[in-house]
């Protein structure tokens, strides 16, 4: 399976609407990710991606063997956090469990370190999100800490974990 990252295109609203309307995706993401996820949500998201400033956000479609399957974003920190970036990602359910997101995260980190002078990339999965935590571990990230009761998702308080990769650790 070939994993490719490419910029968003207007027609990507179709695949995004198809796969993002999934409770098993939304439950692990911030509330800004809509649920249910309507076609209009996908169109709004794609429009925002097309207008994004690459100095601050790297937004990519994850393609598997040429088929759009998911989304990954790297957002640069601001102010004293400007030397770091935060990763966020999801993959359509039919594509889970094949190593695609591990490869995607590795590629996005290489891209982020190549495009920006940042020294650190981090992600903050909810503690129970074992699949995402495993992705980060396989991509070389280190667990730096558990942020107790840091998340309130759909009425439930939960811990989150902070994982990071430094520039010199990127492969």
* Contact status: 102 vs ligand COA (CB under 6 A): yes
CA–CA separation, 85 vs 33, rounded Å?
A: 19
Nearer to ligand COA, 1 or 10 (CB): 1
Q: What angle do CA 140, 60, 75 make, to 5 degrees?
A: 65
Among 45, 113, 125, 151, binds ligand COA (CB under 6 A): 125
* Contact status: 97 vs ligand COA (CB under 6 A): yes
Q: Which stretch binds ligand COA (CB under 6 A): 7-15, 100-108, 110-118, 151-159?
A: 100-108
The token duo for 4 is 């490719």
Nearer to ligand COA, 6 or 10 (CB): 6
Q: Which stretch binds ligand COA (CB under 6 A): 47-55, 78-86, 95-103, 151-159?
A: 95-103
* Contact status: 89 vs ligand COA (CB under 6 A): yes
CA–CA separation, 61 vs 121, rounded Å?
A: 19
Smallest distance from ligand COA to CB 135, Å? 5
What sign for the dihedral angle of Cα 142, 124, 86, 39? positive
Among 1, 83, 130, 146, binds ligand COA (CB under 6 A): 130
The token duo for 148 is 């107790």
**Running DSSP on this structure, what letter comes out for residue 65?**
T
Contact yes or no for 160/124 (Cβ under 8 A):
yes
Nearer to ligand COA, 14 or 22 (CB): 22
Contact yes or no for 159/149 (Cβ under 8 A):
yes
Q: Under the rule (CB under 6 A), what is the footprint of ligand COA?
A: 25, 28-29, 89-91, 96-102, 123, 125, 129-132, 134-135
């Amino acid at each position: 399976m070939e994993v490719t990252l490419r910029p968003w295109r207007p027609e990507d609203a179709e695949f995004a609407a198809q796969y993002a309307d999934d409770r098993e995706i939304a439950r692990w993401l911030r509330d800004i990710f809509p649920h249910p996820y309507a076609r209009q949500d996908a169109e709004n998201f794609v429009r925002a991606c097309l207008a994004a400033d690459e100095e601050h956000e790297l937004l990519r479609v994850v393609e598997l063997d040429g088929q759009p399957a998911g989304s990954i974003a790297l957002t640069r920190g601001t102010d004293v956090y400007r030397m770091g970036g935060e990763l966020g990602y999801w993959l359509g359910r039919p594509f889970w469990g094949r190593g695609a997101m591990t490869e995607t995260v590795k590629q996005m980190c290489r891209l982020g370190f190549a495009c920006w002078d940042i020294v650190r990339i981090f992600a903050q999965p909810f503690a129970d999100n074992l699949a995402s935590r495993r992705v980060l571990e396989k991509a070389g990230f280190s667990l730096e800490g558990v942020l107790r009761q840091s998340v309130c998702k759909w009425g439930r308080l939960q811990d989150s974990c902070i994982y990071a990769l430094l520039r010199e650790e990127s492969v």
